[in-house]
Amino acid sequence: MSQVAKGLAIGLGSLGPGIAVGIIGGKAVEAIGRNPESAGVVRTVMILAIGFAEAIAIYALVIALIIK
Amino acid sequence: MHISLVAETLFSIGGFPITNSFLTSAIATVILIIMAVIVGEKYQKLPFGLQHAFEMAYEFFENMATEVIGVKGKKYVPLVVTFFLFIIFSNWLSLVPGVGSIGLYLSEHGETIFVPFFRGGNADLNTTLALAIISVAAAQFYGVKSKGIKKHLHHFKNPIEIVTEFSKIFSFGFRLFGNIFAGEVLLLASASIFVLLSGNNSSFLGIPGGLIQAPFYMFEVFVGFIQAFIFAVLTMIFISIYVEHEVS
C-alpha cells in the first residue's frame, strides 16, 4: 500500500506544476513575440517563475521519497 | 539501489559529526578561497579569463540591485554574489565523477548499505536550511538597519506576514535540497536502469546505462546553475522589499 502512496504522491503532485510551467513558457514566448526587444528581461522573469513552480513538484517528490 | 535521504556521518571530530555532504561543501569553500586569492593577486584593469567570469556574475547582480533599489543597493551585492558562487560550486561539485559513487560498503542494523565518501553539498537538508535562514535573516537585518525598527514592524501588522517569513525559509531550503537530491537520485536511477530491469547485478550493465544517463547529466548541470541563480535573485528581491528604495 505504501508503494501506491509513493506513486500517487509524486504523480498527482506534479500535475499542477507541469501545467504551470507550460502556461508560463507559453506566455513568455507570446510576450517575446509581441516585443522582441524585451527578450532578455522576459527570459529572466520566466526562469524565476519556472523555479517557483518547480519547487512545488519538488515538495511532492520529497514526500514521495520520505514515505516508507 | 539504496538512496538515503540523510547524509551519512563518516567520522566525528571532538563530538562534531562530519558528513559526506560537509566534506564536499568544505572542498567547494576551499576552491572558492583559492580562486579568490588568485584573482586578487593578479588583478588587472583589462580582465583575464577567471576575473572576467567573476566580474560577469558580480555585474549582473550589481545592475539588478541598482535597478531595483538604487545606488545604495550596491552594499547588498556581496552577500547575494556569495550565495550564487557558493551554491553553484557546491552543485557542480556534486556532478564530478566519483562523488556519490566512490565509497564503502558498511553493514548497519544487519543490512549492508553503501556509504559514499563524497556527496553533493546541497543534497543535505541541513546545508540548504542554513542558507535559507541566513538569507531570510539577512533581509530582516538589512530592513531594520535601513529603515529603523518601528517602520520595519509596520510590515508585520498582519500576523500572517510572520508565517510568510517562515514559509520563505521552508521553500528556499526545500527547493534547493529537492532539486539537487532528486537530481542525484535521477542520475543513479538512469545509470542503473539496465541493472534494475534485468535483475542481473553485473557492473558491465552500467556502461550502456551511462549513455542513458548522459542527457540527464547535462540537465543536472543546467539545474545546478538555475538553482544558484534563483536563490541569489530571490534573496536580492526579498532584501529589496524591506530596504529603503531611492526615488529616481
* Arithmetic mean of pLDDT over chain B: 86
Instruction: Tally the domains of chain B.
Output: 1
Q: Give pLDDT, residue B220.
A: 93
Asked if A51's CB is within 8 angstroms of B175's CB, the reply is: yes
pTM: predicted TM-score of the whole model, two decimal places: 0.89
> Rounded to 5, what percent of chain A is helix, strand, coil?
95, 0, 5
B50: left (phi over 0), alpha (psi -120 to 50) or beta: alpha
Q: Cβ contact (<8 Å) for A58 and B230?
A: no
CB pairs under 8 A between A and B: 37
* Chain B residues with CB-CB distance to A47 below 8 A: 226, 229-230
What cell numbers appear for A21 in the block? 510551467
Q: φ, ψ for residue B7 (rounded to 5)?
A: -70, 135
A32 touches chain B (CB under 8 A): no
CB contact under 8 A, A51 and B181: no
pLDDT at A45 over 70: yes
Q: Do B234 and A55 touch (CB under 8 A)?
A: no
Of A44, A48, A61, the CB nearest to B178: A61
Give CA separation, A29 vs A24, A36, A46, A47, A53, in Å: 9, 10, 10, 12, 17
pLDDT in tens, B101-159: 888 877 777 777 888 888 888 988 999 999 999 999 999 999 888 888 888 888 788 88
Residue of A nearest to B176 (CA): A55
Task: From chain A, pick out residues whose CB is under 8 angstroms from the CB of B3.
Answer: 65
Instruction: Note whether residue B28 is domain-resident.
Output: yes
Distance (Å, whole) CA B145 – CA B243: 8
Range of the structural domain that residue A47 is part of: 2-66
Cβ neighbours of B185 in A, within 8 Å = 65
d(CA A36, CA A43): 11
Helix (H/G/I), strand (E/B), else coil: B178:
helix
Q: pLDDT tens across B161-206, in order?
A: 888 889 889 999 999 999 999 899 889 888 888 888 887 777 788 7
Residue A21: predicted pLDDT: 95
Whether B86 is covered by a domain: the verdict is yes
Residue pair B214/B85 in contact (Cβ under 8 Å)? The answer is no
Of B171, B170, B132, B127, the C-alpha closest to A52 is B171
pLDDT at residue B248, rounded to an integer? 55
E-strand stretches of B71-217:
103-108, 111-116
pLDDT, mean of residues A17-32: 95
Q: How confident is the model at residue B214 (pLDDT cuts 50, 70, 90)?
A: very high
Q: Report if residue B2 sits inside a domain.
A: no
pLDDT band at B247 (very low <50, low <70, confident <90, very high): low
Distance CA A27, CA A21 (A): 10
Query: Model confidence over B33-83: pLDDT tens digits?
Result: 998 888 888 777 776 777 888 888 888 889 888 888 888 888 889 999 999
Residue B4 lies in a domain: no
Q: What is the C-alpha to C-alpha distance for residues B148 and B199, in angstroms, rounded to an integer?
A: 64
Query: Among B43-47, B198-202, B207-211, B226-230, which stretch is predicted with the lowest mean pLDDT?
Result: B43-47
CA distance A59 to chain B (A): 7
Domain interval for residue B167: 9-242
Quote the number of domains for chain A: 1
- For residue A53, the Cα-to-chain-centroid distance in whole angstroms is 4
Question: Phi, psi at residue B199, to the nearest 5°?
Answer: 75, -5
* B125 C-beta neighbours (distance < 10 Å), count: 19
